[in-house]
Amino acid sequence: MSWLYDWWISLAQALGLPEAFQYPFVARGVVAILMLAPLLGGLSHLVVARRLAFFSTTLGQAALTGLVIGVATGQALDDTYTAILAFCLLVGVVMVYVRRQTTLPPDTVIGVFMAFTLGLGICLLVAATRRFNIHQIEAVMFGSVLTITDHDLVLVMVLGAALGIVVAFAYNMLLTDSLSPSVARARGAPTTAIDYGFVVIVTIAITVSLKIIGALLVEAMIVVPAAAARNLAHSTRSYLVWSIVLAAVAGLAGLFISTAWRVPTGGAIVLALSVCFFISLPIGRWLRR
């Protein structure tokens, strides 16, 4: 990975950026953002089209519970990916199952799971603080470039590429199913597999992003780019491009704000994303005049 860091450091020097932006941990953060933007930005427009925006909030809270379960079962505090991924996958799959079995609106079912994961997480967290200092999990909850390792970046790169290929392969079916499951089913699309499969893809994408953006704020990275892009886009193609560009721009802006003013990276990225959204509102109105 060192060539990527060297590339950023030489670019930062060429752009005349302050020395703080040339530190190795900032270089790692930049590389991570540039990897996450296509993944989360690319998924975001499908998440919004499938009305799963609320679901990513549930996963963020499930990640907290997964983290505590991981620590309680003996995993190292800085290596709880397995427990977080397992618990989030369990919550996602059970939620889709329940949603398919009931006539309740999807947001009501997601709300029930959100309440459940939050309640369980808080109870377990209080029990777990007897074993470790609660401040140690701040990095996972709020994200921090300081905690990104080469291992994390390789994970993001490999899983991001794999998920990207799967989504690209199934994209047309996924979007048809998002627009009308009946039309997709008639066309022979495996709508049940799509329903479960997409939730698994989103869960994996969110889990690998936790260290950078944080569990509580990861939902913003998967919802706000699409919300802002929708104001600017006139087609599916431009929707995808805008979602990725806004995720990348806001991610880098948040990283620089975080480095310059020493605020949590996740919070800074979400603030930058929110600014993008509010700027996109009047631009969108102007474009549609």
Partner 1 sequence: MSGGNAIELTRVTVRRDRRVVVDDASLAIAAGSIHVLIGPNGAGKSTLLSTVLGETAFEGDVRMHFRGAGTVAYVPQSFVADRTLPITIAEFLSLSRQRWPVCFGITRASKRRVAALLEQLGMTGMERRRMGELSGGELRRVLIGNAIEPAPEVLLCDEPATGLDPAAVEQLDRLLCELRDTHGTTVLMVSHDRAQVRRVADQVTLMQVRIRQTGTADAVLDQAELA
- Which residues are at the interface with partner 1 (CB under 8 A)? 49, 51, 103, 168, 171-172, 175-176, 178-183, 185-188, 230, 233-240
Whole-number minimum distance, CB 67 to partner 1, in Å? Answer: 34
Asked if residues 199 and 96 have their Cβ atoms less than 8 Å apart, the reply is: yes
**Which residues have a Cβ under 8 Å from the Cβ of 34 and sit 6 or more positions away?**
248, 251, 252
Phi, psi of 151 (to 5 degrees): -60, -45
Give 51 or 151: the residue with its C-beta nearer to partner 1. Answer: 51
Where do runs of H (alpha helix) occur along the chain? 2-14, 24-36, 42-49, 53-72, 81-101, 106-128, 138-142, 150-179, 181-186, 191-213, 218-232, 236-261, 265-287
Closest C-alpha to 223, from 56, 80, 109, 111 = 56
- To partner 1, the closest distance from the beta carbon of 283 in angstroms equals 14
- Cβ-based nearer residue to partner 1, 139 or 232: 232
Measured from the CB atom, the residue of 151 and 187 that comes closer to partner 1 is 187
Q: What is the DSSP string of 111-173?
A: HHHHHHHHHHHHHHHHHHTTTS-GGGGHHHHH--GGG--HHHHHHHHHHHHHHHHHHHHHHHH
Q: How far is the CB of 287 from partner 1 (least distance, A)?
A: 11
Which is closer to partner 1, CB of 117 or CB of 280? 280
**Beta carbon nearer to partner 1, 20 or 168:** 168
Tell the smallest beta-carbon distance from residue 172 to partner 1 (Å): 5
- By the 8 A CB rule, do 223 and 48 touch? yes
Q: What's the CA gap between 251 and 271, in Å, rounded?
A: 10
In the bound complex, what is the minimum distance in angstroms from residue 220's beta carbon to partner 1?
20
- Nearer Cβ to partner 1 (28/45): 45
Residues sharing a CB contact under 8 Å with residue 106, sequence separation 6 or more, in sequence order: 51, 99
Indicate the residue among 175 and 257 with the shorter CB distance to partner 1. 175
Minimal distance in Å, beta carbon 232 to partner 1? 9
Q: How far is the CB of 162 from partner 1 (least distance, A)?
A: 16
Give the integer Cα–Cα distance in Å for 2 and 40. Answer: 24
Least distance in angstroms from the C-beta of 229 to partner 1:
8
Nearest to 121 by CA among 82, 67, 57: 67
Residue with Cβ nearer partner 1 (198 or 239)? 239
